[in-house]
Amino acid sequence: MISIRRRVAFLVVLSLTLLLVVGGEVLIVVFRQAMTLQFDDALAARAAALQSLTRFDGTTVEMDFAGEAMPHYGRFAEAEFFVAWVRDGRGWRELERSESLRAIEWPPSSLASDMLGVRDVRLPNDESGRVVVIEFIASREVDEDRDLHGVTSDAAAATGGIERDASAPDVRLLVALSRGTLDHTFAILNWCLAGVGGALALASVAASRWAVGRGLTPLRELSRRVQSLGPDTLGTRFDADPLPAELRPIAEQLNALLARLDEAFQREQRFSAAASHELRTPIAELRLLLEVAASRPRTDAEWSHTAETALAVLARAQSLCETLLRLARSTASSASTDPSVRGAVAAVLRDETDRVIALHRGDARCVRIECDPNLGARVDQATLRSILGNLLDNALRHGTATPDAPVVVQARRREGQIQIDITNPALDIRQDNLARLFEPFWQNDSSRSEQRGHGLGLAVARSLARSVGGDIVARSDRPDSITLALTLPSAEV
Amino acid sequence: MRVLIVEDSAVLRDSLALGLREAGYAVDAVADGKRGLIYAQTTDYDVIVLDWMLPEMDGLAVLRKLREKQVQATVLMLTAKDTVEDKVTGLTTGADDYLVKPFAFQELLARVQSLTRRRHGACSPVLRIGPLTIDTSARTAHVTHAEGVIVPLELTHREYVLLEYLAARAGKPASRAELEEHLYDDRTQVFSNAIDSAVAALRGKLDAAHCPPLIHTRRKIGYELKDGGG
């Protein structure tokens, strides 16, 4: 896909070019009309001048045309022509013509009644031109002596010694003018406009590229900063206020995404560091155990003890690796949509309680179960066993349960889900520790003892619960007890 | 020389204690930070091997408390934390050395020996007092005569550690109680004349090697290893 800068610049140049073409065309049309009107005025003035030379003496019409005074109509002239006709009883008869016409007959069609006015025409010399055809009544020449006797008519006074005579014949005058100069002017105008338009279009390419480039500076700056982001700079946040309105939502979304990434990255880093620490411990133990044992001769009993210790360390390391794998698999798996899957909550609770109590060599009265025997969760039996086993193991390992103050397990259906609350008495419950309970390898200081687990049980339980569409949250309603609330999808309709 | 190990892993703690005892150190070992702090404040240890992540009280907090209380023992931090920041934090809090798990026992032993020397202001692993030479790395001692003849000393473990301790603080008298504190750990039952009998045995062996008397009795104080004078 082409860049935004090129795309916007292309559209701007295209728009500007279209505007220039349309604007240029409008300018040409207006200019041509104005020039043509001016040309026609000049043509009309020539016709009026020739009309003023036409006289009627009572019997004949004459035109006082003197070729010397008007050389542009002369024999060698090429651009201007005129013909005058007078109408008598037999029709139109030619009265006068310009010498420039020489012997060429003007087409008689000009004598038709609808030919009056101005129009384009093909001239005798085959050039294009404009022609005006007017028709008038020749004026009678007034005797100026009569004027001295004070009998000058009002009409004569109005026309400066010329008087209209109703009996005078009609005269038709045709004046033609070559359009050569006009068309030449038009051609120059066209070329000028085309040149200027082309130059402006080219200039607009550069101008639009520059302007778009300038306009996209904030986007480029944002892009540069986004490109510089890496695992070490996930704490970066974009200041949205100085950004243009179009980029502000992007910056805000980026900030939210960065915050989530940063949190996930830090969580992963903590997990990796903790996993690395936990995996190094058995390696350090085995290495030291074997190095010290091999540093001098040992008895068979000593070697036997060393081997037993090494095997115990290996068993713990193996268990840690298996738990880590289970955690990874539960994180990757997803909820079952099979409605036939059903885990019997009461039976699994009973079995797991027995197993965990035996594991910790505890008293059976240390756990009290309050559960509807018919509760079913939409979770397969093995997953349910793993979730509840981890929660019960956590309660007995890290709590302070006794037969008098036991771990209480309450399972019931609530709002279409199965809710199982496991409450155990415990010491040193701190609210800020509740959220960290589910972090892999996190262990309360007081729980770090010889009998401590891997610190993965709750992380595995929650990950499994989430993988089947449930969840686990921790809360502490009293300072001396902690409740882990497990919700699971119900198997019943 | 007496060492305290504060380590929550039972396997590491037992192996370290065994290895160091076999190397001639008097060793006490505890599993959590609080007990480690109590031990370190009540006994004058030469070296404390301190894990970072401990139950009850972490190693860094123990270290901070020890330095606040002006405890003079040198401290070797032992941890799986291996970033530069972690090492800097440990050393700036007051640790004298830092060792990342997993480690070779020989390296740990060499570092403990180095810290022991530093504790007593010695730079070289070989101590010389008059004709007597003690190699603390090889844990051997011999007497060199004027004509160049070298007579090695055949010492028991108890005699060697007594000689090394007296040599490490040569010129300064050490009381019987101090000697007992540095040479025996909590597991060893110490009879009231144990130090006196060990000194007598040591004097006998030095005399047999034709070494001039170097161990002097300071009345009502204890013993002092010193070249010449009495």
Whether A446 contacts chain B with CB within 8 A: yes
Quote the pLDDT of residue A142.
60
Cβ within 8 Å, pair B19-A449: no
Q: What pLDDT does residue B128 have? A: 86
Average pLDDT over residues B137-148: 85
Is the CB of residue A260 less than 8 Å from the CB of residue A436? no
- Is the Cβ–Cβ distance between A412 and A441 less than 8 Å? no
Which of the residues in chain A have pLDDT under 50?
145-153, 155-160, 447-450, 493
Tens digit of each residue's pLDDT (9 = 90 or more) over A239-279: 888 888 888 998 899 999 999 888 888 877 777 777 777 78
Whole-structure pTM value: 0.56
| Distance in angstroms between the alpha carbons of the first and the last residue of chain B | 26
Distance CA A175, CA A158 (A): 26
CA A379 to CA B140: how far, in whole Å?
70
What single-letter DSSP state applies at residue A244? -
Round the average pLDDT of chain B to a whole number and report it: 87
Torsion-angle region of residue A62: left (phi > 0), alpha (psi -120 to 50) or beta?
beta
Nearest chain A residue (CA) to B57: A445
Confidence of residue B221 (pLDDT cuts 50, 70, 90): confident
Whether B190 contacts B148, CB under 8 Å: no
- Looking at this protein, which amino acid is placed at residue A442? W
Q: Do B15 and A292 touch (CB under 8 A)?
A: yes
Chain A, 121 to 180: residues with Cβ < 8 Å from chain B are: none
> Does A285 sit within 8 Å of B19, measured CB to CB?
no
**Of residues B116 and A167, which shows the higher confidence score?**
B116
* B72 Cβ neighbours under 8 A, 6+ residues apart: B44, B119
Chain B: give the shortest CA distance to residue A465, in Å: 30
Which has more confidence, B124 or A163? B124
Q: What torsion, rounded to 10 degrees, do the Cα atoms A82, A87, A88, A92 define? A: 70
How large is the average pLDDT for residues B176-181? Answer: 85
Rounded CA-CA distance A383/A326 in Å is 11
User: B210 or A454: which carries more pLDDT confidence?
Assistant: B210
Q: Does B221 touch chain A (CB under 8 A)?
A: no
Measured distance CA(A476)–CA(A460) in Å, rounded: 21
Q: What are the angstrom distances between the C-alpha of A410 and each of A292, A373, A391, A457, A485?
A: 51, 12, 13, 20, 10
Chain B residue with CA closest to A310: the answer is: B11
**Do residue A291 and residue B58 have CB atoms under 8 angstroms apart?**
no
What is the 8-class DSSP label of residue B177?
Answer: H
Residues 274-303 of chain A with CB under 8 A from chain B are: 276-277, 280-281, 283-285, 287-289, 291-293, 295-296
Between the CA of residue B103 and those of A193, A292, B79, what are the distances in Å? 88, 12, 10
Q: Beta partners for A63?
A: A54
- How high is the pLDDT of residue B56? 78
**How crowded is the C-beta side of A408, counted as CA atoms within 13 Å?**
9
On chain B, the residues whose CB falls within 8 A of the CB of A291 are 19, 104-106
- pLDDT at site A444: 61
Which residues of chain B lie closer than 8 angstroms to A287, CB-CB? 102-105
The Cα A384–Cα A330 span in angstroms is: 12
Check A450 against B57: CB less than 8 A apart: no
CA distance A280 to chain B (A): 6
Task: List residues bridging with B14 in a β-sheet.
Answer: none
Chain A contact present for B31, CB below 8 A: yes
pLDDT of B28 = 92
Partners of A118 in beta bridges: A132
Chain B contact present for A311, CB below 8 A: no
pLDDT of res. A165: 65
Residue B31 with chain A: CB contacts under 8 Å: 449-450
Q: What is the reported pLDDT for A493? A: 46
At residue A155, the pLDDT reads 47
A106 secondary structure, DSSP code:
P
Whole-angstrom distance, CA of residue A271 vs CA of residue A197: 68
Separation of alpha carbons A425 and B148, rounded Å: 76
Amino acid at position B156, single letter: T
pLDDT at B96: 93
The residue written with tokens 């396997």 in the block is B11
Kindly report, residue by residue over B69-100, the tens digit of the pLDDT.
888 899 999 888 778 888 898 899 889 999 99
Q: What is the pLDDT of residue A148?
A: 43
DSSP class of residue A490 equals B
- ipTM of this complex: 0.78
Task: Report the residue from B54, B80, B104 with minimal CB separation from A280.
Answer: B80
Instruction: Establish if A445 touches chain B: CB-CB under 8 angstroms.
Output: yes
